[in-house]
């Protein structure tokens, strides 16, 4: 298969069909496409068209489409639906997705929608899920799971599972609990397929199961699941009582979102914007970082003004020509050092003390900086620069590189230790501060060496 | 659970136990820890210790540990094992992982190991898998899957599945084929649990199943699986014959690797290095990008030399103080524009023509640049700069920002269309070229406006 690509022609055709109220054609189209593809169509349609089309979807599919579409579009569609209509859609959906959708509604409406849900157990589950923090295991988990009692026989277990399985989209593991709902272990489907019908669950289940606490951080859960190759993990409370489960598909989205966020932060783009967002949203995500860069740049104007006198010197004025090079080196080295630390921190591979780390970075930047310094001297020789100027430039650049590497290593580690996301330190933040540091250091060292 | 953290104490204790040949203690430890945690221990142990410890692991667990450890360490361990020992380890492992491990051996040894594998069907599967390209669906898939014939009854199906399931680590879907092994559809475990024992598979299976061609690109497979929330996808050949299946856990690794690669490229770090790699490896990954930056910086030295005369002018010499600011703005804007395009391309949301995209970027950079230009004029007023100098700086900065944004948008799109990974354009590449462009443009426009 190749993933669906929304063409302008298809979009135009849909709009024409909506204008002409060709409900039959539209319904056929809605049946034909996968919900993830329909979500793309809804994201691209003007909102009145979207609302009209949305009401034509089969009830089974509506909820899936609703889960997949963009938050903004979903908000608009939900606004156009009555409380009753929303409640009806939610009935078909998994508790975790339902809770996520309800959480987006205004508080007053949340209550009204939950009251309209006919299945009281489902409504209760959603009320519970809404109490957990969005970024926690509780906020990620679904209440749907297959749970069996250790005292059942395999036959009873299969019978009960047939009932439970109808509510669960995908059966990953069967969780074994005692009479108090305390999680004891698991029963893989494979084990169940090969087990004797008369055995008691107690005698066939695996008394070992990984679980996460309901308040565990979502990123930590993602780390655990991907490290230990888990496709689902049960969620428990303080008393080890089984509350729900988190499945790998929710984690895939989390890992992707996380990676994209770090990448954007490193590029100086905050918040969740995409290439197809409006100019206003993109400006809001980009301008603050540019202003930060501007303030840094103005800072270096001040520093350079302090060395204005050097401009009168016939051979030392060359130093000014090298400022963009110094700034670029300081910025590049700082970004490299911070990016590798941020990624190491995310993957838990930054070991050893801060001092050890800094020492390694000094070694690394002396090697890199040394090689670059030689190139600079070589360039000076070709350009027939006075040798003392070339050596001064090369040596102060080397110092700048070492300092930039140290700053790039130090800042993210310290941020991380203080519980602040170190990814914010990889982008314009590190470039800007290293620009200022670098230029000051460059001229200051040059001043000491050349004695102007 | 909290993920395992390898402490220096534990590592020292293990080394001491190995020195003292405390095999019993070591075996207990090997049983206690998860294979992913053991892999961390092996990664940290000196190689002779690792080989000694490796031979003490239970056969069932060895293969999993082998799959998880670092490539370098694995290479060393495999070198220390005999062909027979390797073949014995592989017997316990899934075909996809076994093929990956064998692929790392020297060609001569590959043949010897495969000849030593006792299970001829398994050996045949591995031979087949080794023929596929590493980055393709064939290179990602495993041969293990549960396959049933459409003409079987549910009872026969369950019986056959019990046999097949013993070989499959995790049963995701049951694939339904005809007598020619052509993929017809699937049977979810849930359906099987709730189906009548006497029905024929033909009458209960879902005649729709997504599949990928064996030569499909791995990243494309990842996109499909994460978009459509698939936990496994069958792989077929030209005749739709069922060859294998790819599971979500392999895709999670791929998505993570891909995201980390793009992030590193954006930071100017090539190849697969980690914070805990050696200084030499880190230098090899970082120095080339720094040299690129250096060459760019030397280019701007030339450009600035061309404007040396301006230094004699009492108020225009200020322009030189602004070069780091201009370079920073050009770099930051270029990185922002390219990062958002690269991410949009990866997620297939960059729609419309190149012209449309460039026009949007012009609008965006005029707004951002305009705001920044006003700040620069304000700064000039506070710093009591001559007003014509301030306006010149502000306007030429605006031009630089617009051009930088266009370059940042244009380059990745063109690279992508030519089949080159656009991620290489987000890092030092765009910063460096925008630095040079920006500084030249800045002085050139200033020259036109101020007439020096």
Query: Does any domain span residue B271?
Result: no
pTM of structure:
0.78
- pLDDT (tens digit per residue) in B157-191: 888 877 776 666 666 678 999 999 999 998 877 67
CB atoms within 10 A of CB B82: 11
What is the rounded average pLDDT of the residues B199-210?
87
**CATH code where residue A287 lies:** 1.10.357.20
Contact A325 B297 (CB under 8 A): yes
Share of chain B above pLDDT 90, in %: 39
B285 and B271 in contact (C-beta within 8 Å)? yes
If asked whether residues B181 and B284 sit together in one domain, one would say: no
Q: How far is B111 from chain A (nearest CA, A)?
A: 30
Distance from CA of B267 to the nearest CA of A (A): 5
Residue A141 domain flag? no
Whether B233 has a pLDDT exceeding 90, the answer reads: yes
Contact B3 A348 (CB under 8 A): yes
For all residues of chain A together, what is the average pLDDT?
Answer: 87
How many angstroms separate the CA atoms of A324 and B439, rounded?
9
Q: How far is A55 from chain B (nearest CA, A)?
A: 23
pLDDT reading at A160 higher than 80: yes
Q: Is pLDDT larger for residue B441 or for residue B347?
A: B441
Long-range contacts, B6-13 (Cβ 8 Å, 24+)? B6/A351, B6/B37, B6/B40, B6/B41, B6/B44, B10/B41, B11/B41, B11/B44, B11/B45
**DSSP letters for B234-302:** EEE-TT-BEEEEEEHHHHHHHHHHHHHHHHHHHTT--SS--TTS-HHHHHHHHHHHHHHHHHHHHHHHH
From the list B161, B224, B428, which residue is nearest A1 (CB)? B224
Question: Residue B43: its pLDDT value, please?
Answer: 87
Do residues A125 and A150 both lie within one domain? no
How far apart are the C-alpha atoms of A20 and A306, rounded to whole Å? 71
- Residues A49, A186, single domain; the answer is no
**Residues B194 and B334 placed together within one structural domain of the fold:** no
Chain A residue numbers with beta carbons less than 8 Å from the beta carbon of B262 are: 263
Looking at residue B417, what DSSP letter applies?
H
CA distance A100 to A118: 19
CB within 8 A of B234, min separation 6: which ones? B145, B173, B175, B183, B186, B209, B211, B212, B242, B244, B245
Tell me if A274 is assigned to some domain.
no
| CATH number, domain with residue B48 | 1.25.60.10
Percent of chain A predicted with pLDDT > 70? 96
Tell me: the pLDDT tens digits for A74-116?
Answer: 888 888 888 888 888 887 788 888 898 898 888 889 999 999 9
- B 22-81 residues with CB < 8 A to A: 34, 36
My answer on whether A446 and A392 are in the same domain is: yes
The answer to whether residue A273 is domain-embedded is no
- For residues A200 and A153, the answer to whether their CB atoms sit within 8 Å is yes
pLDDT(B249) > 90 = no
B317 interface with A at CB cutoff 8 Å: yes
Digit-coded pLDDT (tens) for A346-385? 777 666 677 888 888 999 999 999 999 999 999 999 988 8
Instruction: List the 196-215 stretch of A: residues with Cβ below 8 A of B.
Output: 210-212
Q: Which of A410-424, B254-268, B401-415 has the highest mean pLDDT?
A: B401-415
A228 φ, ψ to 5°? -95, 15
Bridge partners of residue A185, in order along the sequence: A176
A141 min Cα distance to partner chain B (Å): 16
Are residues B88 and B173 located together in one domain of the fold? no
Range in A271-280, B110-119, B366-375 with the lowest mean pLDDT: A271-280
∠ Cα B181 B185 B188 (to 5°) = 120
Picking from A256, A288, A319, the residue at the C-terminal end of a domain is: A256
Residue A435 to residue B291, Cβ atoms within 8 A: no
Of B73, B100, B131, the residue at which a domain comes to its end is B131
Do A310 and A434 belong to one domain? yes
Helices marked H in A152-188 — which ranges? Answer: 154-165
How many residue pairs from chains A and B have C-beta atoms closer than 8 A?
A: 335
| Whole-number Å distance between alpha carbons of A415 and B402 | 34
B205 and B81 together in one domain? no
Mean pLDDT, chain B, rounded, equals 87
- Cα–Cα dist A267/A242, whole Å: 42
pLDDT of residue B419: 83
Where a domain ends, among A256, A271, A299?
Answer: A256
The pLDDT of residue A342: 87
Task: Determine the 3-state secondary structure of B81 from DSSP.
Answer: coil
Per the CB < 8 A criterion, the answer to whether B196 and B152 are in contact is no
Of A348, A376, A428, which has the smallest distance from its Cβ to B332's Cβ? A428
Interface check for A283 against chain B (CB to CB < 8 A): the answer is yes
Residue B263 neighbours by CB distance under 10 Å: 28
> Which range marks the domain in which residue A416 is found?
279-450
Q: Taking a C-beta distance cutoff of 8 angstroms, is the pair A231, A133 a contact?
A: no
Asked whether residue A269 is assigned to any structural domain, the reply reads: no
Among chain B residues, CA nearest to A190: B165
| CB A52 within 8 Å of CB A80 | no
Q: Is A173 on the interface with B (CB under 8 A)?
A: no
Residue B440: its pLDDT value, please? Answer: 94
Mean pLDDT of B214-232: 88
Within a domain: A74: yes
Touching check for A428 and chain B: CB below 8 Å? yes
Which residues from chain B sit within 8 angstroms of residue A256, using beta carbons? 226, 255, 259
Predicted confidence band at A49 (pLDDT cuts at 50, 70, 90)? very high
Kind plus residue range of the DSSP H or E element containing B175: strand B173-177
Q: Which of A320, A328, A375 sits opposite B327 (nearest CB)?
A: A328
Say if A366 is an interface residue toward chain B (CB within 8 Å).
no
Q: How far is A14 from chain B (nearest CA, A)?
A: 18
List B153's β-bridge partners, or say none: B200
pLDDT (mean) for B194-222: 88
A422/A290 same-domain check: yes
What is the reported pLDDT for B262? Answer: 82
- Predicted confidence (pLDDT) at residue A118 exceeds the cutoff of 70: yes
Asked if residue B405 and residue B333 are part of one domain, the reply reads: yes
Q: Does B290 reside within a domain?
A: yes
- B44 with B190, same domain: the answer is no
Cβ pair A267:B335 closer than 8 A: yes
Q: Considering CB atoms only, which of B256, B326, B332 is closest to A268?
A: B332
- Judged against a pLDDT cut of 90, whether residue A427 lies above it is answered with no
What is the predicted pLDDT for the residue at B169? 62
Number of domains in chain B: 3
Q: How many CA atoms lie within 13 A of A16 on its CB side?
A: 6
B437 in reach of chain A (CB within 8 A)? no
CB–CB contact A263 B267 (8 Å): no
Of B263, B435, B439, the CB nearest to A262: B263
Report if residue B217 sits inside a domain. yes
pLDDT for B124-151, tens place per residue?
999 999 999 988 999 999 998 889 999 9
Cβ distance A305 to B321 less than 8 Å, yes or no, reads yes
My answer on whether B303 and B440 are in the same domain is: yes
Rounding to the nearest 10 degrees, give the CA dihedral for residues A161, A164, A169, A175: -60
């Amino acid at each position: 298969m190749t993933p669906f690509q929304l063409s302008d022609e298809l979009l135009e055709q849909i709009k024409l069909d909506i204008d002409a109220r060709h409900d039959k054609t539209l319904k056929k189209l809605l049946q034909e496409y996968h919900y993830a593809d329909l979500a793309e169509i809804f994201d691209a349609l003007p909102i009145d068209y979207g609302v009209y089309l949305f009401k034509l979807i089969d009830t089974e599919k509506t909820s899936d489409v609703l889960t997949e579409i963009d938050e903004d579009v979903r908000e608009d569609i939900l606004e156009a639906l009555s409380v009753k209509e929303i409640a009806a859609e939610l009935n078909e959906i998994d508790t975790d997705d339902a809770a996520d959708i309800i959480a987006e509604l205004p508080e007053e409406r949340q209550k009204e929608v939950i009251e309209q849900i006919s299945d009281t157990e489902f409504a209760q589950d959603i009320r519970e899920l809404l109490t957990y923090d969005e970024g926690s295991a509780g906020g990620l988990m679904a209440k749907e799971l297959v749970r069996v009692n250790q005292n059942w026989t395999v036959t009873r277990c299969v019978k009960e599972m047939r009932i439970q399985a109808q509510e669960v989209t995908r059966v990953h593991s069967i969780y074994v609990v005692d009479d108090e709902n305390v999680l004891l272990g698991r029963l893989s489907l494979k084990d169940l397929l090969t087990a004797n019908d008369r055995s008691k669950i107690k005698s066939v289940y695996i008394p070992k199961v990984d679980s996460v606490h309901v308040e565990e951080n979502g990123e930590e859960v993602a780390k655990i699941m991907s490290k230990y190759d888990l496709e689902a993990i049960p969620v428990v409370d303080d008393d080890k009582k089984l509350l729900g489960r988190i499945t790998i598909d929710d984690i895939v989205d989390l890992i992707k979102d996380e990676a994209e966020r770090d990448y954007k932060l490193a590029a100086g783009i905050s918040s969740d914007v995409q290439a197809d967002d409006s100019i206003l949203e993109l400006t809001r995500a980009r301008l603050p970082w540019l202003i930060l860069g501007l303030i840094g740049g103005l800072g270096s104007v001040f520093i350079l003004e302090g060395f204005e006198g050097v401009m009168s010197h016939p051979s030392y004025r060359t130093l000014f020509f090298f400022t963009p090079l110094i700034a670029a080196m300081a910025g590049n080295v700082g970004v490299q050092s911070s990016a590798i630390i941020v990624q190491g921190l995310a993957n838990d591979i930054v070991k050893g003390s801060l001092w050890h780390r800094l020492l390694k970075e000094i070694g690394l930047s002396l090697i890199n900086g040394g090689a670059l310094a030689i190139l600079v001297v070589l360039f000076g020789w070709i350009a027939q620069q006075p040798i003392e100027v070339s050596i001064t430039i090369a040596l102060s650049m080397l110092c700048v590189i070492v300092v930039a590497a140290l700053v790039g290593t130090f800042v993210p580690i310290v941020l991380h230790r203080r519980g602040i996301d170190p990814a914010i330190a990889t982008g314009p933040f590190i470039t800007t501060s290293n620009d200022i540091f670098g230029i000051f250091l460059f001229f200051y060292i040059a001043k000491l060496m050349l004695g102007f």
